[in-house]
Structure 1
Amino acid sequence: MYRVAPVAVPDWEIVIARHGATDWSRAGRFSGHRDIPLSAAGRAQAAELGRALRHPQPEIILSSDLGRARQTAEAIATAAEIDRRQIMTSTALREEFLGSWEGLTRAQVAAASPDGFARWASGDIGSFDGREGLVAVARRAVPVLVAHTTGLPRSSGRLVIVTHANTILALAGSFAGMRHERWADLPCPAPGQAMVLG
């Protein structure tokens, strides 16, 4: 069993933003590590999210290295009048690797792997069908959050992380110190939306 103590980030406002929509998300396709760009609607969502997060100005913007997250992070930086070159990207903030599910629709996965699809639909966050699993996602993503908040001088204290749905669940569950079996029950922002941890 994977348990974590609550992640301590005193005096920081941690905002976790989900990237804007893509054509694949609209079609119900699993993206995982596939580098899918934002759709026109996703670009509009990212611009609106940027306007919502510009005050107080983010001190740090961390982003998954995948294009859909980077495009969203760039919209946030533009709205906050931060040089885009200050965005820090990390492969550790990528979406969960989804194995053979990547690029498939829910119906295609249900037909190809009825048992795996049933596990996923019931909230199972484990590693199956070549999926990475959310515990593994937490093990790579949490250290990025800790490294960018621990012992660093701060001014506004707002850190914005731009990432993906399953990575958000892993970070939020770890931040709260929840048992991983409950992470699937956590709320997750819609595409182009954000939540504050803590």
Structure 2
Amino acid sequence: MNREGNVPSKLLYAISGIIFVIGIISFVVVLVTGIISSVNSFDNQVVVPAKRNIEIIEPGDYNIYFEYRSVVDGRVFETSNINGLVCKLKNIDTGEYIRLENSKVNSSYSVNGREGRSLFRFTIDKAGTYELDASYESGEGEEAVLIIGRGLGMKLLSTFLICFAILFVTIAGSVILFVYTYRKRNLQKIY
């Protein structure tokens, strides 16, 4: 009994390899672009010591990050010490101070020439203009860059989950196609 007509082509091995390579490339591209876009979405950079009004357009949980390596308006900052820096956040409309708490999770990042770590977290009940007042207790200290943003951790987590899903699906598909082709071709040799 001749089953040569049912033998899968060797071309399926190549397709399996192509799927594998596409999976690896997709993983890297999505990971890099996701990380860069997550960090670049933090556009509320404040050079301190200073007072600056920040427009917060959505209520919710936010973080204040200290970027010890940063670029603001073409100016490079490398700050090693912010000891004694005191931060206050006030709702301009009500005059109410927002409670700043130390970050529960010490998250840090290093992307595209920017490096930072979380300092504080806070919750905003309503959108509006808020004044960030950051100054040194002693009156003097290094200039530093602070960033107010939300969801960096969640954005990065979703990027990682998407990347690993892409990687898993493409590698699994590649392996399944390879094994299927191998078994079908070898079983045909037996008969």
Q: Same fold (TM over 0.5)?
A: no
Q: In terms of Rg, which structure is larger?
A: 2
TM-score for both structures, normalised by structure 2: 0.24
TM-score for both structures, normalised by structure 1: 0.23
